Structure 1
Amino acid sequence: MFNIKISSRNHAWISVISLGFAAFIFNTTEFVPIALLSDISHSFDMNKQDSGIMVTVYAWVVAALSLPLILLLGNTERKRLLTIVFILFIIGHIICYFAISFNWLLFGRIIVASAHAIFWSITSALAIRVAPYGKKSQALAIIATGTSLATILGIPIGRIIGEWLGWRSTFLMIGVMALLVLLILIKVLPKLPSINTGSAKNLPIIMKRPALVGIFIIAAIAVSGSFTAYTFIEQFSIDLVGMTANELTVLLLFFGISGIAGSVIFGKINTKHPLSLLPVSIALLTVALLVLYTSITSLPLFFTVCFFWGIAFTCMMLTQQIKVLDLASDATDIAMAIYSGIVNVGIGAGALIGHQVINYTQIEWIGYFGGAIVFMALCITFFITLRYKALFIERAKANTGTEIITH
């Protein structure tokens, strides 16, 4: 009996890790255009700022489709649904590879974004379902590690492939990797019937939960602020910091490493300190963005600021996700679809704000604007945390069974 339990536990972790690989693929494709904007804009005779619309369109398609698609497909068995999602994802990348114009490239990205909308609506909840009992935070940390590895390996390698073989090859390679990950998921994932998905009837109930709505608002504002700067980090680093292409690749590696550090911190701290991690991470994010421009006087200082930026952003996102799952345990997929959509509204809004900042002021200001926006989220976070302190503690205890430290 003991050996059976160990085997079952190991298989559970293999399933979680496989979903982490899937997260790696999806996050790589979402953000790799940020590292390829110069090449894409040159290919289609555009300026960098205008080609950045790729990020906005992708994000807003995800935002628009997350909830409708999960309502439409929410009752589909999850392994089958993931297979459909990956096939759609791969088709989108094939279209990107053969794109004969920027509009065709956008069309391919829209198809990929449609797959993305479903993927992130179900993945966090799936990771928790297949993880060993009591390991919810660790399972989410593995998903976060997959997203961070996308920054460490996926985005820099995508940039390198783009420089050597052209940006089209980057999208093709992502499609090939997605096929391999799909085959792994088909092999290791058990059949997962739809549970706690919720329906359209749950929407009014969810939106009447003020603590949950508060988390949604915080996510929209804080993500917008961060992506006001991050969307144009390539241009900022080259034009102001004076980085070479190789140094920029190293910077992207640093962002990824910081994401892994953030996921480790989350896994160790959140279970016992569910109240403090969110405001602390948003406060750190605010500071990192506000000092971004002043840090360009020293390359090591600039790298350090970006490192803490990555840690703060990762901890913030994971803490928000765990709170959404805690506060909507009766309709996890619907709540995560709403959250995913809101996050992508934030990403798109941030890209758009950053574009306007560069057009109407100077690129130096993107950190200041981003930091000011995140500071607004910080103020709301303090209010929500204090106002619903008892609820957050109760939900965290109910879902972890762990003693909560509130001071």
Structure 2
Amino acid sequence: MSLNTPLSARRRWLAVVLIALGAFALVFIELLPVGMLPTVSRSLHVSEGTAGLVVTVTAWVAAVTAPLIPLAVGRLDRRWVLASLTLMLVISSLLAIVANSFTALLIARAVLGLAAGGFWAAGILAATALMPERAHTASSLVFGGIALGTVLSAPVGSFLVGFMQWNQVYAIGLVLGLLVFVLQLLLLPPIRAERAVGLRDFGAVLRSPALVTVLALVVLLVIGNFAGFTFITPYLQQVTHATPTTVSVLLLVYGLITFLGNFAGGQFAGKSSMATVVVTAILFVVGLGLLIAFGRSLPVVIGGLVLWALAWSATPVGTQVLLFVVANKAGHPVDAAQALNTSVFQASIGLGALVGGAAVNAAGVGSAMALATIVLTVALLTSIALSSALRRRARSVPGAGSELSDHELAAS
């Protein structure tokens, strides 16, 4: 991707911030139900495990959308693509506000999935095209928006649902979506796609063992995270016996650490993306292990949540940079790799929520944390194996394992 006309650095950074703001809005509304699951469950007369489907549906629709949007839009100006996807957030919020059944809510959440998958796939590449000389920083800003959405969604949902109906909370998405849509129309510059993504590009990515392994790591890390995180509110209420106010505070602390840790994770990933992913998996396993072993002790639970938040903060940017590095070294198109990364990421959010919900329905909220820990342990072992394979390749092929600079990453 590239700009049609030269722009000042200030104008380009402003455009990156607007893309990050769009990412924030979409993720905020996507994860808003996490803080409201018990209320949604009671209001719509479904189990808490079934209520988790409102997260699953959004993520799975996004997973299908992510590779289809690049195929459908071809070389269309990404400014119009991003603004149109933001408008779908407004439509989804309207549908959620008027939803009077669980089925109606699922339809609203499916519309949101259409927007989320396409925006993730196009937004990050558009941001790096705007700031090619600072690609890692531009990517971190977009992921910062995603992290901030995670920061605020669950605690805000948990707090507001104590004062209003759950569907009224979605008015936030309506107002926020309209604001971002107008700003994007007015201030985003034209962003031209150099080439259209084709099915052949996706095939090339899927034929690469290293890239498939990275994508498998994304699947394991995200499934593990959301199998537990989707049900963190009932876990804290039922196992830790935290009050609703305490739950909101804990979720806010989790989110703030995730937001701030995202930028640190971006810096580490720029130096060694593989090491970042390995350390991330270790933090996941230790953090969740503490929750399982000492779930009744609030101080230990807080410590576990801190480690969990640090792990999640580095996951999106760490795995994305690793994917870009491996794709570039293998000579595969980064735009196709990014679309598939978005697809498997979103599909894994939905799958994590689904299997976590099945565990909750079968054996209670504690089983969701146990399942998450098992999956994340497999992710840790996979990351160690991939790290060893890349080191062996680096020794056998000079320069094969070296990281890419911001400029090289953007040039892809």
Residue 365 of structure 1: how far off its partner (Å): 2.6
Change (3 A) 1:103 1:299: same
Structure 1 residue 261: Cα displacement: 2.9
Residues 89 and 173 in structure 2, CA contact (< 8 A), matched pair in contact too: no
| Partner Cα distance (1:297, 1:138) in 2 | 40
The one of 371, 390, 406 equivalent to 1:400 is: 406
Deviates more, 1:233-242 or 1:281-290: 281-290
- My pick for the range that moved more, 18-27 or 58-67, is 58-67
Q: Which amino acid aligns with 2:82?
A: L
TM-score, normalised with respect to structure 1:
0.91
Is 1:25 aligned to 2:31, yes or no?
no
- Give the direction of change, closer, same or farther, for the CA distance of 1:392–1:114 in structure 2 (3 Å limit): farther
Alpha carbons 1:36, 1:162 under 8 Å: kept: yes
Q: 1:360 and 1:38, CA in 2 relative to 1: closer, same or farther beyond 3 A?
A: closer
C-alpha offsets along residues 184-235 of structure 1, whole Å, 9 cap, x if unaligned? 2223221001135521121221112221111101111121111111111011
Q: Is the 8 A contact 1:197 1:332 kept in 2?
A: no
Instruction: Please give the alpha-carbon distance, in whole angstroms, between the structure 1 residues aligned to 2:250 and 2:287.
Output: 15
Match of 2:4 in 1: none
> Paired residue for 1:11?
11
Q: Report the count of equivalent residues.
A: 396
Relative distance call for 1:67 and 1:258 in structure 2 (3 A) is same
**1:273 shift after superposition:** 2.5
Q: In the TM superposition, what are the counterparts of 1:261-272 in structure 2 within 5 Å?
A: 261-272=260-271
Structure 1 contact 67–337 (Cα < 8 Å) conserved: yes
Q: Secondary structure at the match of 2:199?
A: coil
Residue of structure 1 in register with 2:342 after alignment: 340
2:173 is the alignment partner of 1:174: yes
- Quote how far apart the aligned CAs of 1:398 are: 4.0
CA RMSD of aligned residues (A): 2.2
1:157 deviation in Å?
A: 2.4
Partner Cα distance (1:170, 1:333) in 2: 35
Query: In structure 1, what residue type is equivalent to 2:203?
Result: P
Tell me, in whole angstroms, the C-alpha distance in 2 between the residues paired with 1:86 and 1:67: 18
Q: Deviations over 1:236-282 (max 9, x none)?
A: 01111111111111111112111123212223322223331111111
Q: Structure 2 vs 1, CA of residues 87 and 396 (structure 1 numbering), >3 Å: closer, same or farther?
A: farther
Listed as ranges, the gaps of 5+ residues in structure 2 are 1-6
Q: Distance in 2 between matches of 1:203 and 1:250?
A: 43
Could you tell me how far apart the structure 1 residues matched to 2:403 and 2:363 are? 48
How far is the alpha carbon of 1:368 from its aligned partner? Answer: 2.1
For the residue of structure 1 that corresponds to 2:100, the secondary structure is coil
Read off the aligned partner of 1:17 and give its amino acid letter. V
**Quick check: 1:127–1:140 contact (8 Å CA) kept in 2?**
yes
The alpha-carbon deviation at position 374 of structure 1 amounts to 1.0
Structure 2: distance between partners of 1:73 and 1:43: 40
Paired residue secondary structure (2:270): coil
2:274 corresponds to 1:275: yes
For residues 349-403 of structure 1, give each alpha carbon's deviation from its aligned partner in whole angstroms, at most 9, with x where no partner exists: 211221222222232232222111111111111121221233897576444369x
Distance verdict in 2 for CA 1:195–1:293, change over 3 Å: same
| Distance of 1:396 and 1:187 partners within structure 2 | 41
Task: Measure the CA separation in 1 of the matches of 2:21 and 2:50.
Answer: 32
Displacement after TM superposition at 1:327 (Å): 3.5
CA 1:265/1:393 → structure 2, altered by over 3 Å: closer, same or farther? farther
CA gap of 1:297–1:37, structure 2 versus 1, over 3 A, is closer
Q: Following the alignment from structure 2 to structure 1, what is the Cα–Cα distance between the partners of residues 194 and 164?
A: 44
Q: 2: CA distance between counterparts of 1:130 and 1:161? A: 37
Distance 2:49 2:219 in 1: 22
Matches within 5 A, 1:79-90: 79-90=79-90
Name the structure 2 match of 1:51: 51
- Percent identity over paired residues: 23
Distance 1:207 1:28, change over 3 A: same
Does 1:375 pair with 2:380?
A: no
The alpha-carbon distance between structure 1 residues 392 and 201, as it changes in their structure 2 partners (threshold 3 A), is: farther
1:364 partner amino acid: G
User: Structure 2: which amino acid aligns with 1:276?
Assistant: A
Matched, 1:230 2:229: yes
**CA distance in structure 2 between the aligned counterparts of 1:358 and 1:384, rounded to whole angstroms:** 32
TM-score of the two chains, using structure 2 as the length reference:
0.90
Match of residue 128 from structure 1: 128
Question: How many angstroms apart in 2 are the aligned matches of 1:358 and 1:303?
Answer: 22
Quote how far apart the aligned CAs of 1:324 are.
Answer: 2.3
Q: Does 1:104 align with 2:104?
A: yes
Distance verdict in 2 for CA 1:95–1:324, change over 3 Å: same
User: Hey, what does 2:309 align to over in structure 1?
Assistant: 310
CA contact (8 A) 1:295 1:301 kept: yes
- SS where residue 40 of structure 1 aligns? helix
Give the drift of 1:297.
3.3
Which residue does the alignment assign to 1:94? 94
Per-residue deviation, 1:159: 3.1
Distance 2:35 2:398 in 1: 38
The one-character-per-residue Cα deviations of 1:282-334 (angstroms, maximum 9, x if unpaired) are: 11112212221223233222112111101111212211111223344563332
Superimposed CA distance per residue, residues 102-131 of structure 1 (whole angstroms, 9 cap, x where no aligned partner):
111111111111111111111111111112
CA distance in 2, matches of 1:113, 1:215: 23
Check the 8 A contact 1:291/1:367 in 2, yes or no: no
The SS at the match of 1:339 is helix
